[in-house]
């Protein structure tokens, strides 16, 4: 994110401001953490200390996860020019395993040594390192690039998107998913309870997007956005009086409730209805995440 970062200050946390950057077109930390600080955090801390339960929880909820994995895979099967798929920030390869089962030729990139080694033990081809390092010795192109929960963490999100674009075949599909931050449910919920803004995860999250800012980035890079989608609006619970920010155990129970609701829809033939509801929320700029499917020209 080269250039002068200026804009109104939205929040202050420790030594950082969160600004609405006029240069970048999205919210981010100021100052931006250095590459050395970030590399140290993700290589040694993220899965080991910051998110020790993350990998285990994903495996435990695999049936629920597969509902959403299959939703993406169905889209790729219809709109991608082929079946080669690169997952940037693939973790331990859970999504790659599902895509491989569905006939895709999969490859991953993961900066965490612990997570990438788990995936390789499952027979997946995963490069341990950063996207930038991978780019230095790569000559292959892909039909799909999957970029979930990455752009909020990196110091140069525009460069990451440019690199992803360069890895795609003509007509290839880019899947982007990031947290939808500062949305109506979040702002209203913390106001009701006079609580801290729990979506500010510093220095873990450097950048804070919404549908509008994420779409504008993709359009600047000559992508056409084919579909908006989102995930369950967890902060809606906060607006309804359930203060999961203060009471952590409540947050876990609400997460389990969300899983039960979505599993109920899946088992009772209501999954199409759920999809319609979530896409409707996305059109309104609501939902916990920004999900964009975009096509390279």
Domain definitions of the chain by residue range: 7-296
**Spatial distance between the Cα atoms of 77 and 97, rounded to a whole number of angstroms:** 16
- Of the pLDDT bands very low, low, confident and very high (cuts 50, 70, 90), residue 59 is confident
Helix axes 94-101, 62-79, angle to 10 degrees: 60
Tell me the mean pLDDT in the region 219-227: 96
The CA–CA distances, whole Å, from 238 to 10, 184, 234, 286 equal 21, 11, 8, 14
- Of the pLDDT bands very low, low, confident and very high (cuts 50, 70, 90), residue 50 is very low
Whether the pLDDT of residue 47 is over 60: the answer is no
Q: Which range, 4-13, 168-177, 195-204, is most confident?
A: 168-177
Whether the pLDDT of residue 163 is over 60: the answer is yes
Cα-flanking dihedrals φ and ψ of residue 202, to 5°?
Answer: -115, 135
Architecture of domain 7-296 in this structure: 3-Layer(aba) Sandwich (3.40)
Tell me the mean pLDDT in the region 262-269: 97
Above pLDDT 90, what percent of the chain?
A: 83
Whether the pLDDT of residue 48 is over 60: the answer is no
Compute the mean pLDDT over every residue in the chain, rounded to the nearest whole number. Answer: 92
């Amino acid at each position: 994110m080269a250039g002068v970062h200026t804009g109104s200050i939205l929040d202050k946390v420790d030594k950082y401001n969160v600004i609405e950057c006029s240069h970048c077109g999205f919210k981010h930390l100021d100052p931006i953490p250095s590459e050395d600080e970030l590399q140290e955090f993700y290589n040694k801390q993220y899965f080991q200390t910051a998110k020790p339960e993350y990998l285990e929880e994903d495996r435990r909820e695999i049936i629920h996860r597969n509902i959403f994995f299959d939703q993406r895979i169905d889209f790729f099967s219809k709109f991608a020019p082929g079946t080669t798929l690169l997952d940037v920030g693939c973790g331990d390869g859970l999504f790659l395993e599902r895509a491989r089962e569905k006939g895709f030729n999969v490859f991953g990139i993961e900066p965490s040594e612990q997570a990438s080694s788990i995936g390789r033990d499952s027979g997946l081809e995963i490069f341990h390192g950063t996207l930038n390092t991978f780019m230095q010795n790569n000559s292959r192109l892909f039909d799909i690039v999957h970029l979930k929960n990455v752009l909020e963490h990196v110091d140069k999100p525009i460069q990451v998107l440019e690199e992803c674009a360069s890895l795609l075949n003509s007509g290839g599909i880019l899947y982007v998913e990031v947290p939808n931050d500062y949305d109506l449910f979040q702002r209203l919920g913390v106001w009701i309870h006079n609580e801290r803004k729990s979506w500010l995860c510093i220095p873990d999250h450097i950048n804070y997007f919404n549908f509008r800012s994420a779409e504008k980035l993709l359009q600047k890079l000559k992508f056409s956005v084919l579909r908006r989608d989102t995930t369950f609006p967890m902060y809606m619970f906060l607006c309804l009086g359930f203060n999961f920010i203060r009471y952590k155990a409540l947050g876990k129970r609400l997460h389990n409730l969300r899983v039960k609701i979505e599993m109920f829809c899946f088992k009772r033939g209501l999954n199409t209805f759920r999809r319609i509801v979530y896409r409707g929320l996305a059109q309104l700029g609501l939902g916990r995440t920004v999900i964009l499917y975009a096509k390279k020209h």
